[in-house]
């Protein structure tokens, strides 16, 4: 037992690296459930579907075959090859397997990429709101995030104009996500191309998070991979492929960065999880893709229910999310403090959602995120509870 | 296809973050094997034993039960509890489960710990030779490593005197390993306690890598865990527990650091691999420990063969390694360039070893590392080949 409450020495960066506020909501929700309360979970950034059976079977087979030793730091050659083929089949894009580095989740891919480009005192442009870890990666490596406030007018995304307005001499690049978390919006292909060119013209990189690419409802986007020698594409087996807990992602790095990313992967991770890599070999099989596409339809049905139902209650959703499994909703009709709003909604109505503050500062107190990672039945019950509570 | 060979922007730290030289040796060995040559592998830092069957079975059961979703960032509560019990059973030491954070390999534990304590411009004391990634973690977070040259006289380890001699005003702590890679030597308990106190007196931390604690031949060491509120203990399921490719480790953090480590884990990793965590629950079962203890005896037999056999050939091994599965040998009788020596030994005799340069700079050109992670039969064949080649 320790009587010392002050750390011997804590790095200064820790003042800026924050917890997710939703963790408090989650902890409270769990306590309430333990006490017998029924909770509708609309806070989780994790599909309610388990890993597709063919992937699970491949994982089991790998374990029975004793595939439990380290792979190369860049990943299992067969898996890098399979990912390259996926780009060929899905997008018609040819990419050399050596540019594909398999990582412990997309988190690992983001660590490698930001470590390779961020210098102390440099800056990385991000949208605000955005996935909260991204700005912490910049801080981790002693750079800073330029959090560019984005609104419904730009689909909550950076665009060439905003990029050019906010770019600084110390900027080393931009990190965008399409579809984005928390807003579910896409960036038009032309904007991506222009932004990549803009960054290239300033010796900057463009990091594109395509994690939710598999979960787009309507016209399917192409990959940003072809848009320049300064483009990093980040992806993951977590969201579309249903492998969250396995922790497996990848980065497609520009050729000129492969050696640096490899060196970082060797030193930081040794390698990604071997059983997960063998399991993921089954992720691209037709039987798996069929399951995943059925799930995508289910997500679309949920979105198509949730967006009008939330609007009906009085939430403003100026942009219909085109992908991912989130609705980013303006709640200023009810509150100017979305964090307390989320706390009370949980306590009094038993509905868990994520407050805007987890995604940035720009109008965070007027926004909340709903995740449709729960059944239609639960979503309907959630809407019913909120309707009663808000009335 | 890219025609640009220069990165748009590469972080300056990448000048200092290097590949492992053994990777070239490994790649060459693989090419030779593909061409039909027989290679004796004494370069791998990975046991030749596969994961014990009870752990594999637990992993399979977890997959069949659909345990594939994220755990908490700090790890599965049952696993943290099981690790705490392990400290109780093995060392008689009580540790609160909340201080145990489960990570993607010990690599993940080292990333979290160094990120939490290293400030730009600060320094961390390490032994030279040591595990090469450690100095890169310091560089990654814009600190630097003070690589303290250590010799056979101090068992190739830091000691209180060396620590006090090399400590600087900008030092935030020391990172030691017991048993160490590449030397297999232990640090006496009294030295550990004195060094922890020394660091505490300067508001510094003491990070102790106990990765190879399970693989000690002779008197079993106690854990450093009790030696102060500034001590981080790093451990792993990789080496003793035979779970290398699963990527699972842990850090026991001082109470005052738990919150910071949790925040970092949330942002950097989300969590460690879920199937691996469920599998690891079986690592502490008596049936597993029995298998592991049998393996430890096998490792000891290999060491007891290898050390005198290498000495017979003319290698100097002034300190008999007490643990891990490495022999760090002086080869100056044969060469003053251990890297070329290792290359030629592979090419001409088909024996793969690791050159000293992978572990630091101090007398690196006079040393090589032999890993006894291969069968007694292979070790004997390796010794035979070397005998012929050196004759």
CB contact under 8 A, B205 and A272: no
Q: How many angstroms separate the CA atoms of A289 and A276, rounded? A: 17
CB contact under 8 A, B275 and A59: yes
Q: B68: domain CATH number?
A: 3.40.640.10
> Per-residue pLDDT tens for B179-221?
999 999 999 999 999 999 999 999 999 999 999 999 999 999 9
Last residue of one domain, picked from the residues A267, A284, A301: A284
Overall number of domains in chain A: 2
Q: What is the pLDDT of residue B20?
A: 84
Record the tokens describing residue A67, joined without a space: 């595939």
Candidates A68, A107, A276; nearest CB to B243: A68
Q: State whether residue B73 is helix, strand or coil.
A: coil
Chain B nearest-CA distance from A356, in A, is 17
Cβ-Cβ contacts under 8 Å, B64 against chain A: 56, 60
Q: How many angstroms separate the CA atoms of B186 and A86, rounded? A: 49
Q: What is the pLDDT of residue B347?
A: 95
Cβ-Cβ contacts under 8 Å, A144 against chain B: none
Q: What is the pLDDT of residue B221?
A: 94
Last residue of one domain, picked from the residues B266, B284, B302: B284
Cα atoms in the Cβ-side hemisphere of radius 13 Å centred on A153? 5
Comparing C-alpha atoms, which of A277, A314, A319, A303 is closest to residue A371?
A303
> Per-residue pLDDT tens for A161-191?
999 999 999 999 999 999 999 999 999 999 9
Q: How many angstroms separate the CA atoms of A103 and A235, rounded? A: 10
User: Are both A126 and A244 inside the same structural domain?
Assistant: yes
Chain B nearest-CA distance from A112, in A, is 11
Chain pair A-B, CB pairs under 8 angstroms: 263
| Mean pLDDT estimate for chain B | 96
Cβ-Cβ contacts under 8 Å, B56 against chain A: 63-64, 66, 68
Cβ-Cβ contacts under 8 Å, B268 against chain A: 107, 111, 133, 140
> Per-residue pLDDT tens for B80-135?
999 999 999 999 999 999 999 999 999 999 999 999 999 999 999 999 999 999 99
Cβ-Cβ contacts under 8 Å, A267 against chain B: 17, 132-133, 136-137, 140
> Per-residue pLDDT tens for B210-236?
999 999 999 999 999 999 999 999 999
> Per-residue pLDDT tens for A277-312?
999 999 999 999 999 999 999 999 999 999 999 999
CA-nearest residue to A269 within chain B is: B107
Q: A338: domain CATH number?
A: 3.90.1150.10
Comparing C-alpha atoms, which of A123, A131, A87 is closest to residue A107?
A131
Chain B nearest-CA distance from A353, in A, is 18
Domain interval for residue A168: 53-284
- Whether the Cβ atoms of residue A265 and residue A136 lie closer than 8 Å to each other: no
Q: How many angstroms separate the CA atoms of A120 and B141, rounded? A: 9
Cβ-Cβ contacts under 8 Å, B172 against chain A: 9, 11
Q: How many angstroms separate the CA atoms of B278 and B261, rounded? A: 22
User: Taking 90 as the threshold, does the pLDDT of residue A226 lie above it?
Assistant: yes
Q: What is the pLDDT of residue B325?
A: 98
Q: Other CB atoms closer than 10 Å to residue B385's CB: what's the count?
A: 18
Domain membership of residue A381 (yes or no) is: yes
CB contact under 8 A, A63 and B67: no
CA-nearest residue to A21 within chain B is: B263
Q: What is the pLDDT of residue B3?
A: 46
User: Are both B88 and B150 inside the same structural domain?
Assistant: yes
Cβ-Cβ contacts under 8 Å, B108 against chain A: 104, 269
A3 pLDDT tier (thresholds 50, 70, 90):
very low
User: Taking 60 as the threshold, does the pLDDT of residue B318 lie above it?
Assistant: yes
Q: What is the pLDDT of residue A4?
A: 54
B4 pLDDT tier (thresholds 50, 70, 90):
low
Q: How many angstroms separate the CA atoms of B138 and B175, rounded? A: 10
User: Are both B152 and B67 inside the same structural domain?
Assistant: yes
CB contact under 8 A, B268 and A140: yes
User: Are both A91 and A222 inside the same structural domain?
Assistant: yes
Top residue of B234, B270, B373 to mutate, by most chain A CBs within 10 Å, is: B270
ipTM field:
0.96
Q: What is the pLDDT of residue A2?
A: 43
Task: Give the mean model confidence (pLDDT) for residues A26-52.
Answer: 92
> Per-residue pLDDT tens for A321-380?
999 999 999 999 999 999 999 999 999 999 999 999 999 999 999 999 999 999 999 999
Candidates B2, B50, B268; nearest CB to A256: B2
Domain membership of residue A4 (yes or no) is: no
User: Are both A336 and A260 inside the same structural domain?
Assistant: no
| Mean pLDDT estimate for chain A | 96
User: Are both A68 and A165 inside the same structural domain?
Assistant: yes
């Amino acid at each position: 037992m320790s009587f010392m409450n002050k750390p011997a020495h804590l790095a200064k960066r820790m003042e800026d690296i924050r917890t997710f506020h939703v963790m408090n909501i989650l902890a409270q929700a769990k306590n309430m459930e333990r006490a017998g309360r029924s909770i509708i979970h609309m806070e989780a950034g994790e599909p309610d579907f388990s890993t597709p059976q063919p992937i699970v079977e491949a994982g089991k087979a790998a374990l029975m075959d004793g595939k439990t030793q380290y792979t190369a730091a860049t990943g299992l050659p067969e898996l890098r090859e399979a990912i390259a083929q996926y780009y060929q089949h899905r997008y018609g894009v040819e990419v050399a397997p050596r540019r594909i580095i398999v990582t412990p989740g997309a988190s690992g891919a983001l660590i490698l990429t930001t470590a390779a480009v961020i210098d102390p005192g440099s800056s990385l442009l991000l949208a605000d709101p955005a996935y909260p870890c991204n700005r912490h990666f910049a801080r981790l490596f002693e750079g800073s995030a330029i959090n560019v406030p984005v609104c419904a007018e730009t689909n909550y995304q950076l665009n060439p104009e905003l990029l050019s307005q906010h770019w600084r001499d110390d900027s080393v690049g931009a990190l965008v996500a399409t579809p984005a978390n928390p807003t579910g919006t896409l960036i038009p292909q032309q904007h991506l191309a222009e932004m990549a060119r803009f960054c290239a013209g300033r010796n900057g990189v463009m990091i594109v998070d395509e994690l939710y690419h598999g979960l787009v409802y309507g016209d399917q986007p192409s990959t940003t991979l072809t848009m320049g020698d300064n483009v990093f594409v980040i992806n993951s087996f977590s969201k579309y492929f249903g492998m969250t807990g396995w922790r497996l992602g990848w980065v497609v790095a520009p050729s000129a960065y492969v050696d640096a990313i490899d060196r970082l992967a060797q030193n930081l991770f040794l390698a990604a999880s071997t059983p997960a890599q063998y399991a993921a070999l089954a992720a691209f099989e037709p039987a798996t893709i069929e399951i995943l596409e059925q799930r995508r339809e289910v997500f679309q049905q949920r979105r198509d229910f949730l967006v009008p139902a939330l609007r009906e209650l009085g939430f403003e959703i100026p942009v219909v999310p085109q992908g991912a499994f989130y609705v980013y909703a303006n709640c200023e009709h009810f509150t100017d403090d979305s964090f307390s709003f989320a706390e009370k909604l949980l306590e009094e109505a038993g509905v868990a959602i994520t407050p805007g503050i987890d995604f940035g500062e720009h109008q965070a107190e007027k926004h909340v995120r709903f995740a449709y990672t729960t059944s239609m039945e639960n979503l309907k019950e959630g809407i019913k509870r909120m309707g009663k509570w808000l009335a």
